[in-house]
Each structure stands twice: as structure tokens, then as C-alpha cells.
Amino acid sequence: MTLHSNNDVEANEDSTLLQQGNLIDKPSLYLWLAILITSCATFSFGYSLGYTSPVFNPSSNSTKTYYLDTKFHMSDDQKTWFGSVINLGAGLGGVLGGFPVDMFGKRTGMIVANTFLLVGYLMILLCKAPSFGHSNTQQMTQFYAARVLQGVGIGFVCCSVGNYQVEISTLPLRGAIGTCFQVGVVAGIFMVYFLGLWIRYESLSVIVLVVNAVGIVFAFTIPESPVWLLSKGRKEEAEAALKRLRSSDSQVTEILEKMESELNQDDVEESSESVIEKMSKAPRMKALMIGVGLMFVQQLSGINAVMFYASKILGTVWTDDDTVNQVAVGVQAMQFLLTIVAAPIVDKAGRKAMLTIASVGLVFCCMAMSSYYFWASTVPKGILILGFYGYVAFFSMGMGAVPWFIMGEIFHPEVKGISSAIATMCNWLLSFAITKTVDTFVKAFSTNSDPSDINGETPSGHGWLFVMYGSVCFLGVFFIRFVLPETKGKSYAVLEKELMGRNSYAEISK
């Protein structure tokens, strides 16, 4: 006797309608163009995260003035703040972005995001170096403000782009399109690393300025999300938007009616409710808890610490700075390619499977890296490098991309902006905490007299650092297994019932 859950039956029915021809729902070429235009913001997101690596002098003994830190006489503490304050801005942007994105639409949110990012880079580009013998306080204040503005832009990106891309997608392609957010981010990181081998920080800033300008101008040529338009009662505009985003043989009217029926299930009782009342409903609170939980696992897995120490880790094998920089570019290229490869797999294997595999892989890679730091005299350096490359690979294939678009799937359209804002704020505050405290943590747990030197006698502080991150990934496996619902091929209506705990089973066949 075979038992199936009612939710599985409904999910299968939804999937069958959309995939087996009863309801034709195919993307138009214009949908892919919209994805490309919105990816300008995610490209700039990643570019901003990787920007500090090529613009800072890799050697403390070098006096080459075309590096940003050398030209502006930055101290180590100032460089740390330049790199980390963007996280505070992103957290602020997450908080500020939720309400306007819900009120004025995702497309508006993306225009605002690109504008903040553009202004931030313009401030860096226009900053003049201090005169000889003068303090750099004014310049650093301008740099910190620029990085905060870039962070605010990133916060708006997190609240708008991923949700927009998921909402305009067809159901069968939702997983693959959902990974486009992370593809844009890692493309930006790779490009700034690659270009940084050849050009100076001024040219790097100009390039991303152009990308942001393109994102702003062409955002006016794409339609607003049909889901958002329907949630605001603008059905005619939603239908016009959907017609542009679907192929000519798609059954737009029927697809729109299905969207509308899902949105209208509780519109009558919600019409006069406040945002807090809408958010307080049990399935939405559970969805928010899941979204925040995924952000905790993603950030506390240690991705920022691993990338922070990337040059030092690679420096254990390659001692030449130029070689280390070239290998670092190769690592980013691998991350970019694996993120693309993972896109179609997510829809075939499912979200839970990808996240579980990624989390288990991260556990083993963290243990491999920690073993080198604990027992450097007996563990070969190849184990460290293998752990490092494996870590980047597993993160790219699951933990980097999947949590962001899962939020677009499980958050109710009425409160998607504010829910995304809360999760985004948690993500970036955790990112800031990791970035600013990693060196302090290493020193606190190190038994070496020089805790920052990982190329000589290896301190145990680094070992304990990766033990901690591996432990978080281990706990994340259980969170993913027992708390996270599988969202593959399911409409929001089905997911909401699962979040409400309606898991009754019906006897379907023998």
C-alpha cells in the first residue's frame, strides 16, 4: 500500500498542469532579457564585495601608488573598516528596502539599488588623495560613506531582484532562474578579480558605474512583476506584463487566473489588516523563521572568513604575490562556473537535496582545513588546498544561491518585501560580525606567539575557527532536513498549506 500526502498530490497537480501541456506556460525571449537587465544589480553586488581585493596592495613592503590603500595612506584598521562597513550598509538597506519594495514594486527597488551603488562608486572615483604630510581623515570619511551607500544598494538588491526573478519565472524554470541571482553575484566577484590583474582602481570603478547606469536606464523597459501588480489590484497591467514575459502560445489568461486565485484566497479578510497583522499569521512567521535560519547557516558557515584568508591559504603553497592573485582569480572562475552548472540541477534534484549535499560537503572541507592548522607538521599542504577548493565548490553549488530564491518561493506576496528585508538584515549583520571578528577569534584561541602567521608554525586558532564553522554546517544539515520544506515544483498555495502543518495523508493507491 502506498500513501501520499495531500500536499504532494496538489504539488504534482500543479506541476502536471504547467509541464504536461494542460496549461501551456513558456518563457518568451523578453523574459530572459529582463533577467539579464536585473542582473546588472546583482553583478554590481558581487563586484562590490570583491572590490577590496584588487584595489589593496598585496605587499606591505610595496610603495606602488596606484593601489587605493597606498595612495590614500590607509592603516590596517582603516582597510578593515573599508572592507567591512559595506555589510552594515547592506543590513541598513535590507531594513529600509522592505517597505518601499512592497509599496512601489520590485522594479522600483532595483532602480533605487543601482542608484545607491552608482553614487557610492562615484564618491570613490572623485576622492582626491591627501596632500603630503596631511591626515587622510576626510578621505576615509568619504570612503566609508561611499561603502555604506554601496551596502544600502546591496540591501535593496536583496529585497527586490531575487523576488522579481522568481515571480516572473515559469514554474518549471523557477529553480534555474532563481539561481541567476547568485550567478550575477559570483560573475561580479570574478570580473573584479580578473580585471584587477590588469587595471587600476579608477578604471575598475568606471566599469561598474557603467553597469549600474545600464541597469537604471533599461529597468524602465521591463515590466513590473505580475504577481506584485495583482497584489495591488492592477489586473490589466499584470496581464500586459505577463504577455510580454510569456511565449505567444502560452495560456496567459489561465495562468493569470491561477495567480489571482492564489493571491485572493485571504484578500478579503486581509484588506484592512496592518503589516504586523499580516506578518503574524502562522505560516508567514514560519516562513520568516526558515528564511532567517537559512541566512544564519549561510553566513555562519564561514564563507567570509574563508575568502578573507584566501590569499594566506593560497600563500602556503605559492609564495609569489602575482601567482597567488592569479590562482585567486582561478578560484573565482571556478565559483562562477559551478554556480552556472548548479542551476539546472536544482530543479532536477530539489532544493533540500542540494542544500544537504552542500552542507555535508562544507563540514568535511572545514574539518580538512582545521586538521592542517592543528597538525601542520604531519598533514600535507595539499589537504588545506583541497579543503579550500572543495569549500568554495560546495558553497557555490548550494549554500550560496539556493537560500536566496527559496525566500522568494516561501514568502507570501503581501509581505515578501518586509520578510526579505528582515532576512537580509540578519544576513548582513552576521556577515559584518564574521568579517570584523575573525582575526580576534583566531588570536583568542591561538597558542602561537604570532597568531596571524599561517605560513610558518601554524596556530591552533585557525583550526578552532574552522571547527566552529564546520559545526554550524553540521547543525544546518538537521535544520534543512527537518524544518525546511521542499519547494520544487510547488505553487505558493501548496507551500502555505505545508507551512500551516496540513500534512494529513490520503490513501491513494495500493
pLDDT digit string (tens) for 236-251?
998 899 899 998 888 8
Provide the residue-wise pLDDT of the chain in tens; the chain has 510 residues: 333 344 343 344 344 334 434 678 788 899 999 999 999 999 999 999 888 878 776 555 444 556 777 787 888 788 878 888 888 898 888 888 878 888 888 999 999 999 999 999 999 999 888 877 678 888 889 999 999 999 999 999 988 898 898 888 887 787 778 778 888 988 998 898 888 888 888 889 999 999 999 999 999 999 998 988 888 888 899 889 989 999 888 888 888 888 777 666 555 455 556 667 777 777 888 888 999 999 999 989 988 777 766 766 777 677 676 777 777 788 888 888 888 887 777 777 788 888 999 999 999 999 998 898 888 778 888 888 889 889 988 998 888 878 877 887 888 777 777 888 888 888 888 888 887 777 777 777 776 554 444 444 446 778 888 899 999 999 999 999 898 888 887 777 777 788 777 553 333 333
CA–CA dist 378, 363 (Å, integer): 21
- For residues 217, 223, 225 and 229, what is the CA-based torsion angle, rounded to 10 degrees? 120
> Distance from first CA to last CA of the chain, Å, rounded?
4
Q: What is the DSSP string of 422-458?
A: HHHHHHHHHHHHHHHHHHHHHHHH--SSSTT--SSSP
Backbone angles phi, psi at 27, to 5 degrees: -75, 150
Cell readout for 419 is 520578510
CA–CA dist 483, 400 (Å, integer): 19
**CA distances in angstroms from 369 to 300, 382, 425, 460, listed in the order given:** 16, 10, 29, 11
Q: Which residues pair with 505 in a beta bridge?
A: 5
Chain-centroid distance of CA 118 in Å reads: 20
3-state class of 4 per DSSP? strand
Question: Where is 324: in which H helix or E strand?
Answer: helix 321-349
pLDDT tens by residue, 457-469? 446 778 888 899 9
